[in-house]
Each structure stands twice: as structure tokens, then as C-alpha cells.
Chains A and B, each alone.
Chain A
Amino acid sequence: MKVINKVTHDEWRFWHRTKLATTILVIGTLLTIVSAIGNTIEIKHAAHERSHLQLASETQFLTQPDRHPHRMVHYGHYVFRTPSPLSIIEPGVDAFTGTSIFLEGHRQNSAMFSDQRQASGMTRFSSLTPSFLLQVLVPLFIILIGYASVTREKEAGTLHIMITQGVNLWHLLLGKYFALVSSGLLMLLPLVIAAIWASFNGESFLLTSSFVIGYILYILVWSGMVLTVSALSNKNSASFATLVGLWIVFCILIPRIGSSSAAAIAPSPGKLEADYAVLEELRKLGDGHNAADPAFEQLKKNLFAKYKVDKVEDLPINFRGTVAQYSEEKLTKVLNKFAEKRMQEELFQAQIARQFGWFTPTTAIRSFSMMIAGTSLETHHRFLREAENLRFDFVQSLNKVHQDTLNYQADINRHKDDKAARVNAENWQVLSSFSFEPDTAETRLTRSVIYGFQLILWATFVYFSLRFAVRRIS
């Protein structure tokens, strides 16, 4: 233990003396702090703005004047997605998905106005988010700090001396390993603080701690990789070139190759193409605006039988409202069928890309981090589903008002006497308020298990290669 401790201290002293390592460490830590603060402010602002917009949109809906209920179906409503607390570190897909959806009758709109569409296009490769820094740049910093940790001793001949003096090689390497890990952890510090902050803001402790543990594992993996390569190389330059090569391959190449492969292996036809199939099925259902559409003949007959009448006018309910309800339900079923199919396709693509976590720790930590932070595709899909539930709910409630409250005669004469074909504004209260909550801790943890496993596998792999390196030297 003493030896390990001493080696670690020696390593620190060496970095302090050479300045290069210290400079990198300072730059790295500063960058992560700046990005964590910047991102926190931005996300807080977005969260505030979106919940404000949500409230404004609800108030606007509720304060609409007396109207024909179907007009409110078309007036529609907006829902906004508020970011999760951990997105201050891992914004995930948030910048690429729209954050608001317009909900209206008979249609499922897509989310609009993604941040990237309004951006200058400069941040397609890099962004100053803590997650990008930690996943992509920190490994590079660890390389720059540690590539020479063993080769330096080899080139100076001190390694040989230490071995002949009886220093245990494992102790020596462990000492250097701890020094390297400590530098990585220093750059991780802002993340830890942000995670604690998130815990106080309602994120479960179990979640934030697994988040931090995931990143610590990632640092352990890279530090181990750097040390292994350094121990296996004979020269500083060879160790350096190999490590930079590995960094390019692991941090930049494979993740992107993963997403390009996913798009090539499982091309998704996109919403538009499905829309034609949707339209085709919808036309069979009949137009809900037109109660005389032959598609509703059976519905009419059933109602006649039920109320023992033989004219639409004699029904105790507004038949037009019934048709609106009936067709909205059928239509939603069709829309949901296609929407689900599309989401499955997207998820399948994402899962192909995530499998590349077996080939690079960077994809593993990225998936892990998105899952835990609740900023992955799954969460976006849940937002779409919840928005759709709200849509169906208020549209059907309005249709029910249409059926039960609005007189049929007044309804068919609405173009002649517009005033009579209205219902009281109190009915707009059917809109329930929308707030998008993050997934439960349990869901997120379950989803992240496999990616956590990928990381552990990487850690094991690095451990064995380090053992291999020790055997090679001694």
C-alpha cells in the first residue's frame, strides 16, 4: 500500500513539474465547470419558459368564449415538454426533437421547432454540453496526461532499476493508475456537483448515484486503457500514436459508424410515406364532419333501434356529435397503429446504433447516460404518447358535449343562426392540464442495465489487458 501511495504522489509531483499535464487538467476542469454552469442556466431557462407557455396555452383554451364545440376541437391545444433535472448534464436527443406539439381533432401532428433547426449549424459535431466533454474530450485529456506514464520510465531506464530493486510491478502500475484516475475524477467533479444538485431538485438518489458511477466506470476504463498501452509500448511516441488512434476510433468513429449503419440496415420510411396508408384507411371510415356519410348508416340504425325512433331529428341526442365521437375513435385507432409502428422502427434503429456499445465504451456510456438522464428516444416517444392521450381525451370530451348539450336542430342550422349553435364556455373545462414528468427511477434504471453491463464488460476487458501487460514486462 505504501508503495502504491508513493508512486501516486510521485506521479502527481511529476505532472506538477512538467506543467503540460497540469495545464491540461486545469483546462479540462475549467471547461467542464463552464459547460455545467452554462447548461444549467440554459435548461432552467427552457424549463421555466416551457412551463410558462404550457400554462398560457391552457389559460387561453379555458378562456375561449361560447362556441360550437367542434370549433374548439379544431382550435386545439399546445403541449410542451419540460426537460428532466439531469438534462443539465446529458441533454440527449432534446436538441433534435421538437419540444412542442399542436394537438387538434382528427390529426396527430409531429413535434415542431427543434433547437437544432433554429441553431446556426455550427454545433453539429461538438457541443459544449458536459456530456460531450466527459464522453469525448476527457478521454483525450487522460491520454495526453498519461500516455508516457510507463514509457517515460522505460526510456529513462528507471523502470528496469525499480524492478531489479524488487518493486512489485502491480504496485507500481496501481500507483500510476490511481494518479491517472484521480485526474479524470477531478474533471468529473462538476458532474458530481450537478448530480447532487439534481438530487435536491427531486431526482432520486439511486438514480443520480448510478449516473455518477457510470461515468466513474468510464474514467476507469480509459485510464486503464491508457496505462495498458503505455506499459506495452517501448517508446513515448509509439504509445502516444496508438492511444490517439484508439481515441479516434472509439470516441469519434464507431459511434458515428453505428448511426450510419443503423440508417442503412433498417431504413425507416418516415411519417409521410405512412401517411398515405393512413389516409387510405381513414377514407374507409368516412368523414366525421358529414353525418350523412354512408359509413355511419349502421351507427344510425343502432341508435334508431335503441331509442325506438325512425328519424335523426327525433333522437334525444345530437347525432352529429355521436358521429364525431364515433369517427374520432376509429380514426385514432388507425393513427395510433401507424404511430406505434413508426416509433417501433425508430427504436429499432436506435437499438442497432446502441449495440455498438459492445465495440466502444463511448457508445456504452452515451446510451447509459441518456437512459439515466431520461433524455433518450424512449422518453421522447412517451411524450408523444402522453400528448396523444391528452388530445384524444379533450377531443372526445368536446364531442360528447357536442352530442349531449347542443341541440340537433340548432346544429344543422348553424350557418343561418350561428349564435344558437353554441355551447357555454364552461364546457371547455374538460381540458385536463398537462405536465410531462420524467420516467420513474425504476424504469430508467431497468432500461440502463444493459448499457451498464457494457461498461462493466469494458472495465473487465481493460483489467485483463492490464494483467497481460504486467506479465509481458516482468
Chain B
Amino acid sequence: MAIFSNINREARFLAKQRYILALLSIVFLLSVFAVWSGISETRFQLSTIEKLLEKDAIDRDRVIAKQKDYGSAAYYSFHLTYSAPSAIAFAAMGQRDIYPWKHRIRMLAIEGQIYETDADNPELSFLGRFDFAFLVSVLLPLFVILLLHDLRSAEREAGRYDLLITTATKQQGLWLTRAIVLCSALAIALLVPFVIGSLATQAPIISVGLITLVVIAHLLFWMLLALVFTASKLADKQSSAQIASVLLSIWLVVTVLIPVGSDLTIDAMVESPNGGDIVLTQREAVNDAWDLPFNTTWDEFLTTHPQWEGKTHIGESFEWKWYYAFQQVGDQTAQTLSKAYRTATLEKNRLAERFALMSPPMLTQRLMSAIAETDTNAAIKYEREIREYHKALRTFYYPLLFNEAEFTLETMSGLPKFSNKKYN
């Protein structure tokens, strides 16, 4: 019971401090803004996807209705792919402004299309967004520092220190209780808007719980750091401001210097092919094919599609199957580079995961976007989905092209549809 009376006393004491109340209300308002702008961004993305899906279907139907053969149908019809934001994405928009979350493809060489990006306004990306993850990973430590740095020194400077120590039953308990009360208040100010936001978006309870845990863990880290440092001998003779300066430099090191250093190290460690080379290789392969003897293309094509051997006869005029075959060969030529490029991205991400262990703010940010499925992994997963869908299109069209099937709208209705698991 003594604990409760302690907490009660501390809470009543702190509630009278205007400065603390002001700080807590600012944090609350910031959290409200972060959650609101996150939700409005995800709503916007969802409604965009919905609009695009509608337009996409109408557009394709209209195009297909005018075609007379499968080759032209494949050439002129585009297909929308998308990666819908998860219900909890509002809390951490992660890399979604840099990697595309919507993409339109057709059955030409995929390597020539997949790097096109319908990215966000670069100037806004450069300024950075203010989302809940940013609030928690970058700003939360600063709030903790502002709240806790003068835990002892303020009392000392106010001349109440000795009195407090003698009246409190346990000295350590006093500071701990005060810190816990302050940090709980901070946690409530941060988390209440977030929880209300997740109720509004009907986010899965597990993700909400996990994010809450991450927030609390990050908060605990900084609370303990501040407590340990203010209790240390080093801080004994220092003024409040000096203590805060030291804590701020720790913040600077883990939020700015370690990430920047890691970025440089990772760049030096991982050799990544130049993206431009992939597209160039693909272009050369596809364009050269027009001048090459048909057999060169067929030989390459048949290594991966032996089932069409014997159906490669080309008549006098242009034939679509040959056209798509050299598109496929273009992809095959660029495949090594393209794979190396993706491996490098994954490798960089994996290393960043390791390096983030040295920087609690980075770790927090990465964990939150991982839970919200807005991180690099999610972006790469989406790219894989696009590639799989593109493959499905080829599997659909190749038999029709090589068997010279008669064009019917009925067959066309069997066109594979892109599906995104997160949606619906």
C-alpha cells in the first residue's frame, strides 16, 4: 500500500508543476496530429487504389473489346498492381513514400518496367513526414530527457533535496517512483491518440499490442538511462543543464551519428550493381533481337521454355510470339544483374537490421515499420508479387500465342487477376 500512497503523492505533486503539464499536453497534441495525418494518408492511399482498380478494369475491358488477336491484346492492355497499406500503417509510413505501392505493368519485358516509380513529391520526402513512428523514435527520447534530467538536481537547486531524502522511507524508491509517474504520464499522452486511431482503422489487436510494447520498451530504455546517469557520481556535481547536455549528446550519437556511420559502412560493405545497367542491358538485348536471326532468340527462349519447341515457325509477316519471346530473352539477359541488385538491397537491409541494434531510435523505427508492413522488406515482397503476377500473365498468354488459338473474349475473361493479400 505504501507504493500506492507514494505514487499518489508524487502524482499530486507533479500535477501542480505547470511546466510538466504543458509538456505533456504538447506531446498529446503532437500524437493527435501524427495519428491524424497518418490516418488521412492511409485513407488517401486506399481510396486511390479503389479508384485505380475501377479505372483499370474499365480501361482494360474497353481495350480488349477492340482487339482481334492475343498478341495485340497483351500489348495494349495494362494491369494494375498495388500494395494496400495495412490497417496499422498510419502509425509508421516507413518507406512507402520512396518505394512504389502502385504499379501498372504489361506483358513486355518486366525489367524495363519494374523500376518506374510513381513516387511521392520528392521535396516532401526530403523534408520528411511527421508520423507516429517519428514521434516515438526521434522525439520521445528528447521528452524523457526534458522530464527527467533534473530529477535530483532540480530539488537540489530548489533546496528541497535534503528534506526529501530524510522524509522518504527509501531514497532510491523516491526517484524511481517519480520517474515512473512521469514516464507513465508521457506514455499515456503518446498512446491514447494511437489506440483511438487504431480503433478507428480497426487495426488487428496483435499489431496494436506489439507497437505499444515497442513504445514502452523505448521509453523504458531512456528512462533507465536518465535514471542511471542522474544517480551516477558523475552527475553529482553537475547542474541540471549540464546533465541534460550529456544526455542530449547521447541522443545525438544514437539518432544521428550511428545511423549515418552505419549507412556509410553498409554502402562500403555491399557491392550493388548500378540500377541503370540493368535497364540498359535489357534494352540492348530487346533492341538487338530485331536484327538477330530468329533462331538466336528461339535458342535462348527455349532454354527456359522447352515445351514450345516445334512451335516456333515464323511466317512471312511479323509474329507476336517471336516479339514476346525476345522480350522474355531480354529479361533473361538482365536477370543476373537484376538478381544481384535485389540481393544487394536485401543485404543492405539485413545489415541495417544488425546496425540498428546499436541505435535504439533506429531499432524502434524499424520495428514499428516492420509491424506496420511498411518497411523495405514489405516493399520487396510487393515487387516479388508484381513479378509473380507478370509471370502469370506470360503463362496465360504463351499457350494462346504458340498454339495460335482463335481470339475469343471468353478466353480473355480468364486473364489472371492481381490480388493483394492485405486488401479486403
Contact = CB atoms under 8 A, between A and B. Distances in A.
B126 A144 contact: no
A262 interface: yes
A272 to B, nearest CB: 5
A367 to B, nearest CB: 9
A147 B287 contact: no
Contacts of B61: none
Contacts of B276: 53, 78, 100, 112-113
Nearest to A96: B122
Interface centre among A53, A74, A126 (most CB of B within 10 A): A126
Describe B's contact surface by its main secondary structure.
Answer: helix
A125 B150 contact: no
Contacts of B267: 119-120
Contacts of A102: 279, 283
Interface string B17-58: 001000100000010010001001100100010011001100
A253 B290 CA distance: 56
Contacts of A267: 44
Nearest to A377: B123
A127 B134 contact: no
B99 A117 contact: yes
B52 A237 contact: no
B127 A122 contact: no
Contacts of A237: 150, 153-154, 157, 239-241
A128 B23 CA distance: 30
A350 B121 CA distance: 8
Contacts of B356: 122
Interface residues of B, number: 92
A271 interface: yes
Describe A's contact surface by its main secondary structure.
Answer: helix
Interface in A106-164: 109-110, 112-114, 116-128, 137, 140, 144, 147-148
A104 to B, nearest CB: 9
Contact of A270 (B78, B102, B125): B102
B404 interface: no
B117 A275 contact: no
A341 interface: no
B182 interface: no
A93 B126 contact: yes
A22 interface: no
Interface of A: 20, 53, 65, 67, 71, 74-76, 78, 92-93, 95-98, 100, 102, 109-110, 112-114, 116-128, 137, 140, 144, 147-148, 235-237, 239-241, 244-245, 248, 252-253, 255-264, 267-273, 275-276, 279-280, 346, 349-350, 353, 363, 366, 376-377, 380, 415-416
10 contacts: A78-B280, A96-B98, A109-B116, A122-B263, A123-B260, A124-B128, A128-B264, A144-B248, A237-B241, A261-B37
Given A126-B259, A126-B260, A260-B37, 16 more contacts: A67-B290, A95-B126, A102-B279, A109-B116, A114-B98, A116-B125, A120-B267, A121-B95, A128-B264, A148-B241, A257-B33, A260-B129, A264-B40, A279-B59, A349-B121, A353-B127
Sorted from nearest, which 10 A-B pairs have the closest CB atoms? A256-B130, A113-B275, A96-B122, A240-B241, A259-B127, A237-B240, A122-B259, A126-B256, A120-B352, A122-B263
